[in-house]
Structure 1
Amino acid sequence: MKPRVRSEFIKSGYVFAKSPADIAKEYGFSEVALLGSNENPYPPSEKVIRAAKEALSGVNRYPDPKAAEYHAALRANICDAPVVTSGLGMDGVIETAIRTLVAPGEKVVISTPTFSMYGLAAKAASAKVVNVPRKSDFTVDLDVFLQEAKDAKISFLCTPNNPTGTVTPIEDIEYILDRIDGVLFLDCAYVEFSDVNYLPLLSRDNLIIGRTMSKVYGLAGLRIGYAFVPEWFEGPYNVAATPFTLNRVSAAAAAEAVSDHVYKDNFIAHVRKWREEFIKEIPFPVSPSGANFVLINVAPKLGDDAMEALAKQGVLVRSCASFPGLGDTFIRVSVGDVWENERFLSAVKKL
């Protein structure tokens, strides 16, 4: 008898961007504009690379299980919160938070359309997943969201939201926190590119703020997520977490990167400049965005067709057809390097 695979893992999973190597080979480009994965197009600074190289000499030993140096750097440079936790990317923080809180059959609520990992991780934990649609302008419908979230074990809300770029006002987050019995996980992977700061809400004991080193700090390849959590949550989270979550190289690079304010500030300025340029130049409706990407409605074209047409011009973007509840006429485009942005603007005007 063959072992039976759980139904959650047979058909659908996380959808990756199309391979740039495949596009280059298929359409004859030596370089492809990589605007499909919300990455930072610039490598980290020399001092970050140097810290990572130095850490390599000690990889014969296990890393610090508490990532104390990195967490100290976060407190010194981001927020002097009493409790910081880490994960293998934001995905790792999400999975561990669900593992810590949710028993099989308990409710997890998700504001959609949004990042697919909340639902995938919740289903892996045998949770009851409830998706709550946003309004037509992609803002959170507070009353509808609260109807489901009030008695949920944990609820997920991404702001700025992926893939829409929508920023949820801090007053709306306070409104939710005042009225739910469970925990709100606020995914702030893109918050540095916006004008909103949710960190003053950390005094609430039912709020987790997840963040990442992948976007503004340019460390996507090292997979480093972190979260500010209530004190009561730290112990159980560490018990549920995979031992030695961050390796030595990742922790060393992250500790250095988080203190590199020049690199961070320069990239934020670059994103904001080109985000406005995108909104002005793209000949299709563009949703307001507080992230390092924009959502574009290419109707009457389908998102898949637009993605393919842009790929033929050496530009890799993300079709959003796989985001439940969004529709099939949207693409998501990251802000890239100058030449990538210019190639995209030229290509999108030919659609």
Structure 2
Amino acid sequence: MEHLVRSCYKQGGYVFAKKAANLAGDGRVARLASNENPEAPSPAAIAAAQEAVRTANRYPDERVDVLVSALRAYYGNYHFVTGVGMDGVIETLIRTLVDPGDKVAVSTPTFSFYGIAAQAQGANVIAVRRQPDFSVDTAALIREGKDAKIVVLCTPNNPTGNLTSFEDVQTILEGICGMLFLDNAYVEFSGTDYLPLMRKYENLVIGRTFSKVHSLAGLRIGYAFVPAWLQPFYLRAGTPFTVNTISAAAAAAALTDKAHADRYIGQVVTWRKQFSADLKYPVLPSGANFVMVDVTPFTCDEVVERLAAKGVLVRSCRSFTGLADHYIRVSIGEDWENERFIKELNAL
């Protein structure tokens, strides 16, 4: 019966990082492969989640008002939508706007799920290569974006870590005819704010997540700033009751604990500098909670396997389309994890 499977799923799909459970032995593992926050969630988020469990026998609020209200209190009077992680926001936005055959332009190399979700909707996905230094080729992206329903740009970019300037994003917005989806999953670590663009442009969606800075990766909660005109159509296209009661309550409470987020942001800023100073291999500039490292003359898969044997998990970048096979992506973890990574990579 395999002939019934759509051709776009006969091969490919999202490539996951190596997990601690994949390693032999029961020693302590440095988990630096998935851009997770190593700190447990805020006590406020944990308490809110525990309380919300009491009402888990009921369907969640379809408008996720507890979270949307908290986001407005935190950011101001913007229009918000939510999803099951950033992935859910991406998937629903594409479902809302894209018909089969429509064009979606993606600045690559980058997070692969943009293309996967667009293909699932029957889109014609165009990869727009970045410059050799991984900066965005704005002219090429605008050229391809002229007739695209959605242009996708991640900043700070996953896995390269580099930022696209506020001015370049503005240039892209003014040059394209469709929507720009700006993935800001890591923006809290960058010191850059793109939100002023929301007040000026009707073709901008900015996606964010609670997975990184707020330590809620396991609860899968994403959100986006959207123009007012788009919000009702997004809600109409969304799968019913996607964001569960517990995740929404925890995320809303997490916004009240600024100190928790600030601690990890400080940790990230400190260790990005430390990696650049202490590693024997080139570390690319990053505005995210990870860095990309050039491990030439080794291949990325070779380094991943050798580090895993030492109890250090990092991400091979081989699965990122358009990226050479000598880069690894390394999350900022706890001090001991970062120290072990530096020691073991330098010992290769």
TM-score class normalised by the smaller sequence: over 0.9
Q: What is the root-mean-square deviation in Å for CA atoms of aligned residues?
A: 0.9
Match of 1:39 in 2: 36
Compute the displacement of 1:135 (Å).
Answer: 0.3
Structural mapping, 1:194-343, within 5 Å:
194-203=190-199, 204-343=201-340
Match of 1:102 in 2: 98
Compute the displacement of 1:72 (Å).
Answer: 1.1
Compute the displacement of 1:81 (Å).
Answer: 3.5
Compute the displacement of 1:3 (Å).
Answer: 5.0
Q: Is the 8 A contact 1:73 1:255 kept in 2?
A: yes
Query: Which one of the candidate residues 115, 125, 129 is aligned to 2:125?
Result: 129
Match of 1:161 in 2: 157
- Give the partner amino acid of 1:9: Y
Q: Distance in 2 between matches of 1:2 and 1:16?
A: 24
Structural mapping, 1:179-190, within 5 Å:
179-190=175-186
Could you give the per-residue CA deviations for residues 91-143 of structure 1, whole angstroms, max 9, x where no partner exists? 00000000000000000000000000100000000100000000011000111
SS of alignment partner, residue 228 of structure 1:
strand
Q: Distance in 2 between matches of 1:137 and 1:206?
A: 28
- Give the partner amino acid of 2:155: T
Q: Which runs of 4+ in 1 moved over 3 A?
A: none
Instruction: Indicate the larger mover: 105-114 or 139-148.
Output: 139-148
Q: Distance in 2 between matches of 1:247 and 1:269?
A: 31
Q: Distance in 2 between matches of 1:248 and 1:99?
A: 24
Q: Is the 8 A contact 1:191 1:197 kept in 2?
A: yes
Match of 2:21 in 1: 21
Q: Any gaps of 5 or more consecutive residues in structure 1? A: none
- Give the partner amino acid of 1:236: F
Q: Tell me whether 1:75 sits opposite 2:61 in the alignment.
A: no
Instruction: Indicate the larger mover: 44-53 or 181-190.
Output: 44-53
Q: Is the 8 A contact 1:285 1:297 kept in 2?
A: yes
Could you give the per-residue CA deviations for residues 157-215 of structure 1, whole angstroms, max 9, x where no partner exists? 00000000010000001101111110000000000000210000002100000000000
Match of 2:84 in 1: 88
Could you give the per-residue CA deviations for residues 35-67 of structure 1, whole angstroms, max 9, x where no partner exists? 000000011122211110000000000111111
Match of 2:11 in 1: 11
TM-score, scaled to structure 2? 0.98
Structural mapping, 1:108-119, within 5 Å:
108-119=104-115
Q: Is the 8 A contact 1:286 1:296 kept in 2?
A: yes
Q: Distance in 2 between matches of 1:34 and 1:9?
A: 29
Q: Distance in 1 between matches of 2:224 and 2:238?
A: 13
Q: Distance in 1 between matches of 2:238 and 2:40?
A: 29
Match of 2:49 in 1: 52
Q: Distance in 2 between matches of 1:19 and 1:267?
A: 22
Compute the displacement of 1:82 (Å).
Answer: 3.0
Match of 1:30 in 2: 27
Q: Distance in 1 between matches of 2:45 and 2:141?
A: 41
- Identity of paired residues, percent? 55
Q: Distance in 1 between matches of 2:78 and 2:169?
A: 21
Q: Distance in 2 between matches of 1:197 and 1:261?
A: 17
TM-score, scaled to structure 1? 0.97
Q: Is the 8 A contact 2:42 2:214 kept in 1?
A: no
Q: Distance in 1 between matches of 2:139 and 2:43?
A: 48
Compute the displacement of 1:151 (Å).
Answer: 1.5
Q: Is the 8 A contact 2:150 2:178 kept in 1?
A: yes
Q: Distance in 2 between matches of 1:307 and 1:9?
A: 27
Q: Is the 8 A contact 1:165 1:287 kept in 2?
A: yes
Compute the displacement of 1:19 (Å).
Answer: 2.1
SS of alignment partner, residue 286 of structure 2:
coil
Q: Tell me whether 1:171 sits opposite 2:167 in the alignment.
A: yes
The size of the alignment, in residue pairs, is 347
